[in-house]
Structure 1
């Protein structure tokens, strides 16, 4: 495990928790990285290891999760975007590279649109490009369609940490050699409470509000309004390691990204989780983050 420090910064309603993996050099570039809808900052642990201190990585626990679970509502993608702008302001950061996985990619895109002076190039990981919501579904049905079993987990209890580990190890996305010390630390950061009734730190209200908010017009249109270049790394396989991923060539063609600053790039042999937590996907992410951190800003700084 790569060493990190936990910090807290002021945001609306309280303090946002974040993890910081320092670079080897004090003046190295900084990357801010955002997690998915029921995840937490330690989902970026494998990327942090493979960055090998070339940049400083700062990953917040988004409002309503893990170290930030005590932050009150309102929730929503726009609230997260403003929280991230507040985070960079509190840390004295300007025009940092912004990365996001899954829901975090939608937050990153909207943050770049709402706060263009705060962020530079973007790296979106298996998220950020959405599709209009089916009009025949209720909000709860929509949530089931979006994240399915992940939502069910939030209401479950577990007798101890070993049981939570076993629950996740049975997940198809983490089969075989997909499990690692970083994955274990990531899932354990999500667990809170006392034995024998431990539970996820994620606030169901936050997850529900954020999931429905992924279909807001401002969120869906953010990738078409990006003020800086962006790359989308999309996983070949899906949330349950199924052959159909969230994106494919046909879906991206239907999204019609022509005229945008977004370049889609496929990452083979990974699923929606391992594109971030596995060595293959995380190495691709780390390599691109280092490269993006060396891109001069449009302002010529």
Structure 2
């Protein structure tokens, strides 16, 4: 049975995180969204598997946690999530992270292995090669398409939806789950609740920070897209990279490739979410 989430407020350094919680039949799964997203990214996973108990925070600088102040980083997000677990009375959880959220999941699992049973990484979390020529000072240009949504207020969700799907060719503009996700981004003034400073700080950490992925000791499931942005584009994780990861990380299980999906469609479509749900079930069942 699908249950509507309950929203909790969890104090963290610089403010309070908004956290949506659904309690159902499974052990709790901490679900961590990507760099420019929000907790409703998990709408499709909830639809694919209503029996999952999910803890879904808006990370600092985004949506319901937009007002949280202070510099952001993968480590800061991991510290915030420990506060969430403490506030909810959860000793250990399985963690599912999408894109940048996968890197946060790795940071949490390696920094606080006592709190994490397993991780599911959705097109993120393991090292990604920066695009050719990308340097920290060029990140604003690289993220210009994503940050363009901050340039003006939108005249409601339909206006924002048209802007958002322009650069996301595989997402269904008629999907009510997408509309709900985007509505959660918007403030009362029609502006997207997203801090550009936080986005760029987190992106710099993902591409140029140190990763502790080789210290992972928990079971790891990896779900990855066939393409990066649209059909025919090179994936974030080509087959040769996956082979290297498996050779070096004993706890990494056979990766799951989502056919016909790019980065966004790996979770923001029903087909992609079904693969993610299978990966989550695999870690929950041991």
TM-score normalized by the length of structure 2:
0.90
Q: Secondary structure at the match of 2:114?
A: coil
Shift of 1:107: 0.5
Q: How many angstroms apart in 1 are the aligned matches of 2:87 and 2:64? A: 17
Contact 1:112–1:119, Cα closer than 8 Å, also in 2: yes
1:186 corresponds to which residue? 181
2:216 corresponds to which residue? 226
Q: How many angstroms apart in 1 are the aligned matches of 2:78 and 2:270? A: 28
1:149 matched to 2:145: yes
Q: Secondary structure at the match of 1:110?
A: helix
Q: How many angstroms apart in 1 are the aligned matches of 2:222 and 2:129? A: 19
Q: How many angstroms apart in 1 are the aligned matches of 2:231 and 2:82? A: 33
1:20 matched to 2:17: no
Deviations 1:15-66 (A, max 9, x none): 111111220x4xx41001000100000010110122122x311110001000
1:41-190 correspondence to structure 2 within 5 Å? 41-53=39-51, 55-131=52-128, 133=130, 137-145=134-142, 147-175=143-171, 177=172, 179-190=174-185
Q: Pick from 194, 203, 208: which aligns with 2:200?
A: 208
Deviations 1:180-231 (A, max 9, x none): 111110111111242xxx221011111111111113443xx32211120101
1:299 corresponds to which residue? none
Q: How many angstroms apart in 1 are the aligned matches of 2:174 and 2:124? A: 22
Give the stretch that moved more between structures: 241-250 or 126-135: 126-135
Contact 2:161–2:173, Cα closer than 8 Å, also in 1: no
Deviations 1:157-186 (A, max 9, x none): 3233221122123333345x4741111101
Q: 1:131 to 1:161 in 2, by over 3 A?
A: closer
Q: Pick from 225, 236, 261: which aligns with 1:235?
A: 225
Q: Secondary structure at the match of 2:234?
A: coil
RMSD: 2.2
Question: How many pairs were matched up?
Answer: 283
Q: Which runs of 5+ in 1 are unaligned?
A: 296-301
Give the stretch that moved more between structures: 153-162 or 117-126: 153-162
1:239-278 correspondence to structure 2 within 5 Å? 239-253=229-243, 255-260=244-249, 261-263=251-253, 264-278=255-269
Deviations 1:113-137 (A, max 9, x none): 1111001110000001224557965
